[in-house]
Structure 1
Amino acid sequence: MRRTRSTAALVAAAVVAGGMALSSPAYADPTPAGTFRQLVGVGSDTTQDVLNALAGDTVNGKSYATTAVKSAAGAGVASYDAIEPGTGSTASNIQTRSGGPSFLRPNGSGKGRLALTDSLTGDKFPNADGVAIKGQVDFARSSSGPTVSGTALTYVPFARDALGVAVRGSGLEGLTKDQLHDIYSTANPTVNGVAVHPKIPQTDSGTRKFFLAAIGLDNSTINKDIPVVQENQGNAALTEDGDIVPFSVGSWIAQNNGTAPDYSKDAAAAGAHLATVQLPGDTGATSPVTTVNGKLAPVSGYYENSTFGRDVYNVVPTRAIDPTSIFFDKDLYDVFVTSGAHGAALATDDSEKVIADFGFLNEPYNGSVNLARHAKQGGLESSTVDTATPAAPALKATPGDKSVKLSWTAPAATALPLTDYRVTLTGSDGAVVAAKDLPASTTSYSFTGLAIGNYTATVTGNNLNGAGAAATWTGTVKYKSTTAATVATTPYGKVPKVAVTVTDSHGVVPTGKVTVKEGATVLGTGTLDGSGKVTVALSNHLKVATHTLTVSYPGTSKLYSSSATASLKVTKATPSVSTGAPTSVSHTAHAKVTVKVTATGTTPGGTVRIYEGTRVIATGTLSRGTVTITLPTLSRGTHTLHAYYAGSSTVSAKTGANFTIKST
């Protein structure tokens, strides 16, 4: 990476040039007093002035109304300073909504992110003794990245800044990372025989956090006796030779060029300036600033350095910039997010000119929410927030015709209430086919119009911490098939025939076998013809009864299985009774009558009676459908007789035709 070098003389010239432009006009929060806008931001000192300008307010006597950023629907930005305008008080209150509560002004990146968190959760800000501020803040200005892991908040890069060290006096040029580490970790540090008096911004400052991390320290390893000063205010921090304090290079440039309200004029007049720094891996010193046409300007090589260069962010709720979420805020998205063909209002040419005027570098990734392109995600920033996310719901999936219906029961409650469900369907290649965000009151959803194939569906219950554990279903989506079956009442002994038709509404001809069962017993199978039909013949010896049949089609790679029921009534067979007897017989002899009973598909058995009128005169038992019965002697005369078959469990009773025997 190319780096621009600068000598101490160049730095001194830059300070002089910057000092000539210093001024101290009045400035304010959104003006005029009582102005309320839709998108409320609080937090970092470093970016407050440029956000005020982008919001269209007057900054350091200049109105930026003509370049105010707004959403497509006209929603504007309200940016509230970290300290009270005019007084510098860190204990003043702000009111961000008409009729809303008045609450302590968030001072610095950390407090801004905490206020955004409490605005989401409804907790009191800045602590339990504060004020509930639900819905009062929409974004936080932050000059550092996340301090809490999670996905609730997205850090959208807004511009590129750098961290320099502002010093007063000489002898503190070309400091290395190791020297800065020692200055801020030891008591009474000296450099090249010069006594150094380090200062550090307030605890919740993003500049403090970033600087300490850059030099290998944190709040637990820094020298606890170092005085704390308000971020980016040189007058208060640089009061004597040997003073040193981390300082936003962008803020130093904007103040010294007269673009931003001045907090460093007196210090700069007394010799305060941004020192050169030996960047890691370099052998010489690099100045963070240069002069262009008498104005301070960034040195890009310093800004792009991975140790001292930094992205600055606008922090927004992740779900609010997700177009698929039920909490999607189109106005917030329009102003802050660049994604695909959608460009952030903060990344227009007019906006980037304002950003550059305030000492920052514009980057091609400004506004990107791609985590591979400088965007970051973090958790809610409150020590009192339970970080648990919901357990997996209990999921049931019912595949349908080109569809799948998901239904579930809610997971156990967490400290933060369930806010929504995210339902996602992916194909066999892992690509997302469809996704839907649903209110917490919803417990089912159907994906329809799907192509045939294998899918995986997941359902997560979500709260403000993010997505919970996923309930998962994997299965196949096919076309619906419909099976219909009919069967006629059938006498015992005849073959029952089940007419089966399998149909589909998508032009796929059903193929394969169908199976007919009674309970678990298979009664018959058949193969569908080219029109999806088959007649299945059953046994002709099903018992006489009403049979409930289940006709099953197993499906194919494109069709679901289906089934139908049919009621088969098997009745008793209708027999035929024939007799063979002599036409005459002696009154002393015993005539023999042969009776034959037949029925289709069965050989009747059972009892046959010979009647004369209504009187039974002889009986016999069928054997193989035939019986010869010996009659008693008959008195002289003509006797009219008939045979009667008494029937069986499978054959109905039947009376034969009359026949006569003459007894002589």
Structure 2
Amino acid sequence: MRRTRSTAALVAAAVVAGGLALAAPASADPAPAGTFRKLVGVGSDTTQDVLNALAGDASGYAPVKAPSGAGIASYDAVEPGTGSTTSSIRTRSGGPSFLRPNGSGNGRIALTMALTGDKWPNSTGTTIKGQVDFARSSGGPSTSGTALTYIPFARDAVGVAVKGSALHKLSVDQLHDIYAGTLTVVEGQTVHPKIPQSGSGTRKFFLSAIGLSDSTIAPTIPTVQENQADDAVTEDGALVPFSVGSWIAQNNGVAPDHSKAAAAAGAYLAAVRLPGDTGETEPVSTSNGHLVPLNSYYENATFGRDVYNVVPSRAIDPTSIFFDKDLYDVFVTNGSHTAALASDDAEKTIAAFGFVNESYNGSINPTKHAKFGGLEGSTFDAKTPGKPALKATPGDASVKLGWTAPAPTGLPVTDYRVTLTGADGAVVAVKDVPATATSYTFSGLALGTYTASVSAANLNGSGVLATWTGAVKYSSTTKATAAKTAYGKTPKVAVTVTGTHGTVASGKVTLKDGSTTVGTGTLDRSGKVTIGLSNHLKVATHTLTVSYGGSSKLNMSSTTVKLTITKATPSVSTSAPKTVSHNSRAKVTVKVTATGTTPTGTVRIYAGSHVIATGTLKSGKVTLTLPKLSRGNHTMHAYYTGSSTVNSRNGVNFTIKST
């Protein structure tokens, strides 16, 4: 059951009724030693104890798991028992040992290094790629970007742990001046401010709340480990920013104790005059003998804060190839999906550790308290990739996208995001493919106009989109046949175009010989057309390209067909006198004809095997004058020698009598 904000009284009642306040303090790191779990978290010591309990590393607390059984492994910010800040952890069986990340900022940097493969904590450190899955963080992003998603987990507040009655009531202005070094005495008491270690989320949040930063805080203020009052609040006038949730959990005996000795010696959380108020607000109250949070302090915009579990954005994106369902199931609440950390049992544990449950536990929506941030660390190029070179090829109710990688820039490309939207702008499909991919096909599409986009991504996020907009249609197949044809006769190409999905082809067909268009035609109702070509195509075998231009439902298609043009077969006729005087020269007219063309070239008159006259055709005719013939009968024939387009041919014999 999802809840809205719990009041302090309800939290206290749930804690006591559930017996959680009497459970053993949550132990640190996965237990027993050498235990490894899938979802590894490091970072903030503000939320480490509650995450340890939710991991099941304490008697009385059931572990939160994904439906697959994957559980949480939460490693403390400092070494349990010793408090060492230089100890190492090993988070995977067979994995490397590396320095324990201390605090929110260092947790987020370690998560970044686990993604990029860079060395932690610096260039002389250890490569920890894949060794961390999430970071505990008591503050929001310190860099812009979308690589990391800050998932709100609960509501906490930052108070001020103090010792001495003079510091019971403090204002924001007083805190500013104390930590700036300009106010050293309050109500006659010399103050001794302390500040958590560098990288602490509480340190960063507190300084921002009082209008200071690491560069403006008094440099003489000593640094202490976050949320450990026993070492920090030891003398009258001491004060240090402190997670209210952690103070409650430690003093209720739920979390490992670093503060009860200080509290027994007089340490407490000061009442703070919140901006705009005339009086001071206590951070906590007591119910049934236990400390509980006051909502009015937790919900204050200056000192109240969300605490987060930080995960790689791509790991909780179900469309990404890097999607981690176990991480998603444990941390994300989205629509009807409720995070395992937002279950009723989990929120009872969260309340037991001094935090206030909120309805947005697990939200990944920035309008509901989620935040986005970039990779953390100083060595990363924040650029996303450039635009891929994109080519789209429509297919049968499909479109194939092919691309080449953008020019290298910043971090390497890790994947490509391919998206298809309809004419109305609605997303039809999204696909994430590896960096090695160079193409993807969307298939089974309805006819219509679509826009496809491809963007390269690196750890910083997706880069510039390359887009294509066009129509998706069915496929067509073009077939053509052509018979061998003599020069001068009209060659014909029979074309049939068929469409898939029972679609009858319509539209125009074009025939080209090389780059020259030699014929066009329009398909009939059966998808067929016979196209007549010029009867003067060159005598040769032509490879014609037959192209169908497509229709509103069918894509274009083409084929080739071989058309052989042969030489024409001529007819040779002769007109000659029957008799001629042996003193005269006879004239013979030869006519050469062929279908569709007027032959040109040479004609010879043979008497036996001897050429006795030669002439050149003009308009298919030539008149030749023969030499004088001796008395007697002379049998002759005309011979046409042919041309580049007409075959050679002998005429029939004819006889002239010379007298």
Q: TM-score of the superposition, structure 1-length normalised?
A: 0.88
1:308-387 equivalences in 2 (<5 Å): 308-387=303-382
- What is the aligned-residue identity percentage? 73
Q: SS at the partner of 2:165?
A: coil
In 2: Cα distance, 1:138 partner to 1:596 partner: 97
| 2:457 maps to 1:465 | no
Counterparts of 2:347 and 2:5, CA distance in 1: 23
Comparing 427-436 and 493-502, the one that deviates more? 427-436
Question: C-alpha separation between the residues in 1 aligned to 2:501 and 2:25?
Answer: 75
Partner of 1:251, secondary structure, is helix
Aligned to 1:265: 260
SS at 1:52 equivalent: helix
> Relative to structure 1, is the Cα distance of residues 25 and 248 closer, same or farther in structure 2, using a 3 angstrom cutoff?
closer
Q: Hey, what's the Cα distance between the residues in 2 that align with 1:24 and 1:188?
A: 42
2:164 to 161, 164, 169: 169
**Aligned 8 A contact 1:403 1:477 in 2:** yes
Describe how 1:618-629 pairs up with structure 2 within 5 A: 618-629=613-624
Once residues 63 and 23 of structure 1 are traced to their aligned partners in structure 2, the CA distance between those partners, rounded to angstroms, is 5
- Residue 359 and residue 595 in structure 1: after superposition, are their counterparts in 2 closer, same or farther (change >3 A)? same
- Measure the CA separation in 2 of the matches of 1:292 and 1:39: 35
Q: Assess if the C-alpha contact under 8 Å between 2:414 and 2:457 holds in 1.
A: yes
Aligned residue number for residue 649 of structure 1: 644
1:586-605 pair list within 5 angstroms? 591-605=586-600
Q: How far apart in 2 are the matches of 1:537 and 1:474?
A: 37
* 1:134 positional shift: 3.1
Partner in structure 1 of residue 53 of structure 2: 53
Contact 2:28 2:49 in 1 (8 A): no
In 2, Cα distance between equivalents of 1:166 and 1:485: 90
Post-superposition offset of 1:352: 0.8
Alignment of 1:143-542 (within 5 A): 143-173=138-168, 175-191=170-186, 194-413=189-408, 416-542=411-537
Q: What is the alpha-carbon distance in structure 1 between the residues aligned to residue 207 and residue 485 of structure 2?
A: 93
In 1: Cα distance, 2:658 partner to 2:57 partner: 136
Deviates more, 1:322-331 or 1:380-389: 380-389
Q: How far apart are the structure 2 equivalents of 1:185 and 1:639?
A: 137
> Aligned partner of 2:250: which letter?
Q
For residues 202 and 256 of structure 1, what CA distance do their matches in structure 2 show?
A: 22
Question: Structure 1 unaligned runs (5+)?
Answer: 7-20
Match of 2:86 in 1: 91
Shift of 1:53: 0.7
- Cα deviation per residue 1:399-453 (whole Å; 9 max; x = unaligned)? 4333333334444556644433333334444443333333333333333333344
Alignment deviations for residues 234-272 of structure 1 (CA, whole Å, 9 cap, x no partner): 233323343332221211222222222222223323443
- Residue 60 (structure 2) pairs with residue 63 (structure 1): yes
**2:196–2:223 contact (8 Å) kept in structure 1:** yes
**Match for residue 554 of structure 1 among 549, 557, 563:** 549
Instruction: Give the match's secondary structure for 1:657.
Output: coil
Q: Is the contact between residue 293 and residue 354 of structure 2 (CA under 8 Å) also seen in structure 1?
A: yes
Shift of 1:25: 6.8
Counterpart in 1 of 2:17? none
Residue identity opposite 1:63 in structure 2: G
SS at 2:110 equivalent: helix
Q: Taking structure 2 as the reference length, what is the TM-score of the superposition?
A: 0.88
Is the alpha carbon distance of 1:636 and 1:123 closer, same or farther for their aligned partners in structure 2, counting shifts above 3 Å?
A: closer
Distance in 2 (alpha carbons) for counterparts of 1:280 and 1:32: 47
Q: 2:43 maps to which residue?
A: 43
Distance (Å, rounded) in 1 between the aligned partners of 2:216 and 2:375:
25
Specify the alignment match of 2:635 in structure 1. 640
Q: How far does residue 4 in structure 1 lie from its aligned partner after superposition?
A: 9.7
What whole-Å deviation, never above 9, does each CA across 1:598-620 have from its counterpart, x for those lacking one? 22122334443333333334444
Distance 1:638 1:339, change over 3 A: same
Question: Once the 2 structures are TM-superposed, how far is the Cα of residue 145 of structure 1 from its aligned partner?
Answer: 1.0
* Kept after mapping to 2: 8 A contact 1:188/1:197: no
Q: Single out whichever of 492-501 and 89-98 deviates more from structure 2.
A: 89-98
Deviation (angstroms), 1:216: 1.6
Partners in 1 of 2:623 and 2:109 — Cα distance? 109
User: For the Cα contact (< 8 Å) 1:509–1:532, is it kept in 2?
Assistant: yes
Tell me if the contact between 2:602 and 2:616 (Cα under 8 Å) persists in the aligned partners: yes
Matches of 1:427 and 1:82 in 2, distance apart?
Answer: 50
CA deviations on 1:345-379 (whole Å, 9 max, x unpaired) are: 11111111111111111112111222332222222
| 344 and 22 in structure 1: CA distance in 2 versus 1, 3 angstrom threshold | closer
| Higher mean C-alpha displacement, 369-378 vs 626-635 | 626-635
SS, match of residue 346 in structure 2: helix
The answer for the alignment partner of 2:560 in structure 1 is 565
The alignment partner of 2:368 has SS state of coil
Deviation, 1:85, is 2.3
State the SS of the aligned residue for 2:367: coil
> Cα deviations across residues 290-323 of structure 1 (Å, max 9, x unaligned)?
3333322222232222222111111122222222
In structure 2, relative to structure 1, the CA distance for the partners of 1:186 and 1:548 (3 Å cut) is same
Write the mapping of 1:68-79 to structure 2, written as runs, cut at 5 A. 68-79=63-74
State the secondary structure of the residue aligned to 2:84: coil
- Counterpart of 2:111 in structure 1 is 116
Q: Quote how far apart the aligned CAs of 1:210 are.
A: 1.0
Equivalent residue, structure 2, for 1:126: 121
| Cα distance in 2 between the residues matched to 1:485 and 1:26 | 81
Q: Provide, for residues 507-553 of structure 1, a one-character-per-residue CA deviation record: whole Å limited to 9, x for no partner.
A: 43333322223333332322222222222222222333333433333
**Matched AA of 1:38:** K
Is 2:385–2:410's contact at 8 Å kept on the other side of the alignment? no
Quick one: distance in 1 between partners of 2:426 and 2:322? Answer: 24
Judged with a 3 Å threshold, the aligned counterparts in structure 2 of structure 1 residues 628 and 91 are, in CA distance, closer, same or farther, namely closer
SS at match of 1:535: strand
> Contact 2:23/2:60 (CA < 8 Å) preserved in 1?
no
Aligned residue in 2 for 1:10: none
Deviations for 1:549-588, whole angstroms, at most 9, x for unmatched residues? 3333333344333333333332222122233445455656
How far, CA to CA, are the matches of 2:478 and 2:190 in structure 1? Answer: 94
Cα 1:474–1:135 shift into 2, 3 Å:
same
Measured at CA, do residues 425 and 634 of structure 1 come closer, stay the same or move farther in structure 2, by a change above 3 Å?
same
Cα distance, 1:636 vs structure 2: 4.7
User: Deviation at 1:221?
Assistant: 1.2
Q: CA deviation at 1:589?
A: 5.7
In the TM superposition, what is the alpha-carbon distance from 1:206 to its structure 2 partner?
Answer: 0.7
* Kept in 1: contact 2:423–2:451 (CA 8 A): yes
Match of 2:16 in 1: none
> What residue number does 1:30 align with?
30
Classify 1:115/1:628 alpha carbon distance in 2 versus 1 (closer, same or farther; 3 Å): closer
Contact 1:394 1:471 in 2 (8 A): yes
Q: Say which is worse superposed, 188-197 or 434-443, in terms of deviation.
A: 188-197
In the TM superposition, what is the alpha-carbon distance from 1:220 to its structure 2 partner? Answer: 0.8
User: How big is the alpha-carbon RMSD for the aligned residues of Structure 1 and Structure 2?
Assistant: 3.2
**Secondary structure of the residue that 1:99 maps to in structure 2?**
coil
What displacement does 1:219 show? Answer: 0.7
Match of 1:360, as an amino acid?
F
Task: Tell me the amino acid that sits aligned with residue 276 of structure 1.
Answer: A
User: Is the 1:4–1:286 Cα contact (8 Å) retained in structure 2?
Assistant: no
1:16 corresponding residue in structure 2: none
